[in-house]
Each structure stands twice: as structure tokens, then as C-alpha cells.
Amino acid sequence: MTPAASIVARLPQHGPLAFVRRVGALVRRHAYLLLKSWPRIVSMAYYPTVTMVLWAFLTLYLAPKNDFLRDAPGFFIGAVLLWDILFRGQLGVSLTFIEEMYSRNLGNLFVSPLTLPEFIAGQLTMSVLRTLIGVGGACLFAWLLFRYSIFSLGFPLIAFFVGLLAFGWAIGLAVSGMILRWGLGAEELAWAAIFLIAPVSGVYYPVSVLPGWLQGVAYAMPSAHVFEGMRAVLLDGTFRWDLLRNALLLDLAYLIFGAWSFYAAIRYARKHGLLLQMGE
Amino acid sequence: MPAPHPDDAAIAVTDLRKRFGTVEALRGVSFTVRGGTTTALLGGNGAGKTTTLSILLGVLAPTGGTVHVLGADMRRHRHRVLPRMNFTSPYVDLPKRLTVGENLRVFADLYGVANPRARIAEMADEFELVSLLKAPYGNLSAGQRTRVSVAKALLNGPEVLLLDEPTASLDPDIGDRVRTYLEQYQRRTGCTMLLASHNMGEVERMCDDVIMLRAGQVVDHGAPAELLARYGRVNMEEVFLDVARGRGEVHAGAAAQEVVT
């Protein structure tokens, strides 16, 4: 009897190359979807761009009357663009997952050799791509319309990007887990969850303006440390390594929690038979 | 049925149990599937066929019991054998906005097919999908989707193939061609197939063994010819009705009595 494997040559199934290939397959699947739909690409950049334009005009209006904005005219634009890194980073994970649920494809994926870490790595990779498209579009318009370049932040921009993106991933994974657990009825969470932490992230104001008890909550968020760091760069011209360290350590903790939540939801789905039933 | 030894069979299921809240979907199911054979899982709606297949694939955790596929414990080591397996089911879809070709390419990469383009072309040719490769999957008819799903299931040249109603929605001509391809594929490769189907003609034609399920238990098993003789019926549809309506034991008992007398 000829073994079945002999009629179709298969590439190695274990090791880093297999990991990259399977993650690449997931990215390919979502890239096919994105590249054939310009409205999808436009919609990714639309919201960040419109928000940026609003804050830019507000800055133009207030700057002549306000010393603070005269000294740091890119303050609000920089803040809104960084906030969108967090928001897009989270959406990139959650929407990639929702897309699989809508298309009732989870069953096919989870009976394939794709492992859970690979599935998560695929979501995170798509999150980076979606964030670059969404925020990149807004950055381009910020330069074209207002001559503001986010790259004027210099090296700290990379640190802020990493700090915010990782927090977005953590929230995105937790939200994906909740959607898996409670079904597409919980889809609204993908859009709304991030706004729960917006007031305590100190995006447009320092954490010090919050009531004392809320400052404690704020400093438990990596985003608050990143935005404090942004203000230090824009207003004082200094880069606060301590804030970056705090943000990254908190990111790590939240990422562990996000991944654990997602794993727990998958365990629940396996126990209750949700993986083959999920869909529109 | 004696407890199967995992090493002797391509698929070995032992005392499989699954409870959903107060509902016992599987109540100690045990069976083996010999390598290179096709076995049917038969039973009415809610008998436990899809639950059994889901546990075999590792997407549903059993409450108790063990499942071994190609010698690997599916609870602990399923990723060792998943590249050597595949499945198709009308209850699982592919992304609708991707074309047929794109969908097959994604799954070829997931399964690590060495030459994906050639293999996709081969599958497209086999299942008359060449003209559909550039069509969005969502635009296809139910029968065309079923063919794509079967092509996807064969992309990686599986050694174990789980088929949940593989010819549902196909017209008799295409259904016959799919069955013929599966039979030829098995002869060529020695693939082990486990088939859940409501098409009794398909079962009689393709299957070496039949496992009859009712209310989460194996109530009978044997080759189609043996079952026909045991129940005194002329086709598997009548056997199925006997089992589904709880008349199986009567006929089996009568058959045993005839043998005794």
C-alpha cells in the first residue's frame, strides 16, 4: 500500500520555518481580503484622518491665543495619532478574529496544523499591517495638510509605537476571547472596549488632572506612561526612560493576561463545541 | 465491542463520552477503523456522529475516553498528526470573499503542501474547478462549494480523511464523480476514511464497515453485507430505519434466533 504522503510532497511541519509559513498563510488570507477592497483600506485610514483633522483645526484656532500650543503646535495631532496606534492595534487583532467568525472559517483553521500561538501571531501581524495603513494614512495627511510630521518625535516614536501597540494587542486578544465566549453579539466590544481606558490614558491632558484615586488606575495602564512620555518629549524635550520601562513592564503583564484570556476562551469553545458552530 | 488497541488501527476510539450540561451526547463510544478502509458513522440526527467527528479532529474536548489517530493521542499530540489528516463538512465554510484559488492556496500553505500551484491545479482539474478558480467562493452554488470543500480536504494528500456528508448538495452526476475520486484516491494511497452520511447508497458503495450510533452509543457495527443479512433487509436505508427507530435489537435478536434454530 502506497502511503498517502507520497502523492503530495509536504514541507517540514515543525520548526521556525513551518511557524513562519503558517503565520504567512493567515496573513495571506487577510491580505487577499484587504487588497481586493479599496473601501476597506480607505475606511482603515478614514477615522484616524478625520480625527486628526479636527484636532489640527482646533490647534490652529487655539494656538494664537495659547502659549502652550504656540510652544508645542503638534501636541494634539501627535496625541491623536499615537492614540490611534493603540486603537488600531487593538482593532487589528479583534477584527481579524471577527472576520474568521463571520466567514465560519474557524473550524477549518483549528483542524489544520495551525497552532494557537501561530493563530495569535497571525492576528498580531495583521494588527501591525492594519495599524500602519490606518495611522500611516493619517500621518501622511497630517504632513500634507498641516506640515506636521510625526517623525519629528524622533527615536521616542518607536518606543511609543511599541508601547501602545503591545497594549492594543493585549486588549484585542482579551476582546477576541470574549467574542468567542459570548458570540458575535459581543462584537460591539471590539469597537467600544478601548474607550473605557481613554479617560485614564491621559491622551490630551496629564494624569495629574485626574482625581487622586483615578491616578492610581491611570498608572496601571501602559498608555498613561506612554502619553506622559510623549508630553515630556514635546514640552520638555526630554525622553523619560523610566516611563518607557513602566509602560513595557505593564505591557508584558497585560499581554500575558490577554493571551491567557484568549487561551481560556478557546478552551471553553473546545469544551462547548463552539469552534464548528460559530458564524453569522 | 472489545476495547481497541491504539496501535492496531488508524483510528481508535475508546469509551468516548461527551456531556453538554445535562445532555449526554456520547455515552461510552468505542470503535476502531482499520488503516486503508472506509468506515461509515451512521445514525439519526442527534445520534452523536458530528460530536464524534469533532472530537476526532480535536475541536471538541471529550468529557472522558481517548481518541488515537495514526497512533497519536489526539488530546495531547494532535498537532503531530493534523498535517496528515483533513476533513470536509457542509457546516464549516471558507471565506466567501476570497476566490476559490485563493482559498485553496491559503490551505495549501497551512498544510505545508510543497508545490501548492501544481497541487491546486491538479485538484481543480479533478473536481472541475478550473473555471471557478478566480470566482469568489461566496458566488458559488451549494454544489460547487461542496466540490471546493472536498478539494480542500484532499490538498495535503491526507492519510486520514474525515468526511461529514461529503456529497451533500451535489447532483447525482457530480456526486458520483466525487465518490469515484475518493475511491480511486483511497486505492492509490491507502487513505483511511471515516464518513458520516445520510446517503445510504453512498455508504453501501464506499464503506467496508459501518458503525451504527443511536443516542450517543454504538448499537451495532459490521460490514454492510453483514448488517443487511443480520437485519434481514435488502438495503442500508432499511437497516438505518430499523436502528434509528429502535427496532435494531429486535431484528438482531431474530437473526440470532434463526441462527440458533
> CA A275 to CA B122: how far, in whole Å?
30
HSE-CB for B136 with a 13 A CA cutoff: 11
- Please, are residues B170 and B147 in contact by the beta-carbon 8 Å criterion? yes
**Is residue B45 over pLDDT 90?**
no
Question: How much is the pLDDT for B249?
Answer: 56
Average pLDDT for residues A111-118, to the nearest whole number?
Answer: 94
Question: Tens digits of per-residue pLDDT, A76-86?
Answer: 899 999 999 99
Q: pLDDT tier at B216 (50, 70, 90 boundaries)?
A: very high
B150 interfaces chain A, CB cutoff of 8 Å:
no
Q: State the ipTM, two decimals.
A: 0.86
Q: Which one of A26, A99, A108, A118 makes the best mutation probe of the B interface by having the most chain B beta carbons within 10 Å?
A: A108
Q: What is the pLDDT of residues B175-194, one digit of tens each?
A: 888 888 899 889 988 999 99
When the pLDDT of each residue in chain A is averaged and rounded to a whole number, the result is 89
Region of poorest pLDDT, from A63-72, A139-148, A214-223, B74-83: A63-72
A43-47, A182-186, B2-6, B65-69: segment of lowest average pLDDT: B2-6
Q: What cell was used for B250?
A: 429486535
pLDDT band at B255 (very low <50, low <70, confident <90, very high): very low
User: Residue A126 pLDDT more than 90?
Assistant: yes
Note the pLDDT of residue B259.
37
Interface test with B, best of A29, A96, A271 (most B CBs within 10 A): A29
Q: In the predicted model, is pLDDT for residue B120 greater than 70?
A: yes
H helix and E strand count, chain B: 10, 10
Q: In chain A, what percentage of residues exceed pLDDT 70? A: 96
Residue B248 has pLDDT above 70, yes or no: no
Indicate if the pLDDT at residue B5 is higher than 60: no
DSSP output for B116-161: HHHHHHHHHHHTT-GGGTTSBGGGS-HHHHHHHHHHHHHTT--SEE
Best residue of B111, B150, B159, B188 to probe chain A, by most A CBs closer than 10 Å: B111
Q: CATH second-level architecture of B6-222? A: 3-Layer(aba) Sandwich (3.40)
Please, which residues have CB within 8 angstroms of residue A109's CB and are 6 or more apart in sequence? A26, A100, A119, B110
- A129: which 3 cell numbers? 499591517
Q: Which three cell numbers stand for residue B8?
A: 492496531
Residue B7 has pLDDT above 80, yes or no: no
* pLDDT of the residue at B121: 96
The ranges assigned to domains in chain B are 6-222, 226-261
Q: Is the pLDDT of residue A7 over 90?
A: no
C-alpha cell at B63: 468529557
Per-residue model confidence (pLDDT) at position A1: 44
Q: Has residue B261 got a pLDDT over 70?
A: no
Q: Which residues of A touch B95 (CB under 8 A)?
A: 29, 33, 99, 103, 105
Please determine, for residue B3, whether its predicted confidence score (pLDDT) is greater than 50.
Answer: no
Q: What is the pLDDT of residues A34-52, one digit of tens each?
A: 988 888 889 888 999 999 9
**What span, in angstroms and rounded, lies between the C-alpha atoms of B90 and B167?**
9
B163-180 per-residue burial string, b: 16 or more CB within 10 A, e: under 16: bbbbbbbbeeebbebbbe
- pLDDT(B260) > 60: no
Q: What is the tally of helices (H) and strands (E) in chain A?
A: 11, 0
The residue with cell 511541519 is A13
What residues does B14 pair with on adjacent strands? B66
pLDDT of A280 > 60? The answer is: no
Mean pLDDT, residues A227-239: 89
Q: Which residues of A touch B59 (CB under 8 A)?
A: 107, 110-111, 270, 273, 275-276
Asked if B31 has any chain A CB less than 8 Å from its own CB, the reply is no
Q: Tell me, what's the pLDDT at A102?
A: 87
Amino acid sitting at position A145: L
Q: Which residues of B touch A8 (CB under 8 A)?
A: 113-114, 119, 155-157
CB A70 within 8 A of CB B54: no
Task: Please give the helix or strand (H or E) that residue B112 lies within, else none.
Answer: none
Provide the H-helix boundaries in chain B: 49-57, 78-81, 100-110, 116-126, 142-154, 172-189, 200-206, 224-231, 236-244, 248-260
Characterize the bridge pairing of strands B217-222 and B72-73: unpaired
Report the pLDDT value the prediction gives residue A153, as an integer from 0 to 100.
Answer: 81
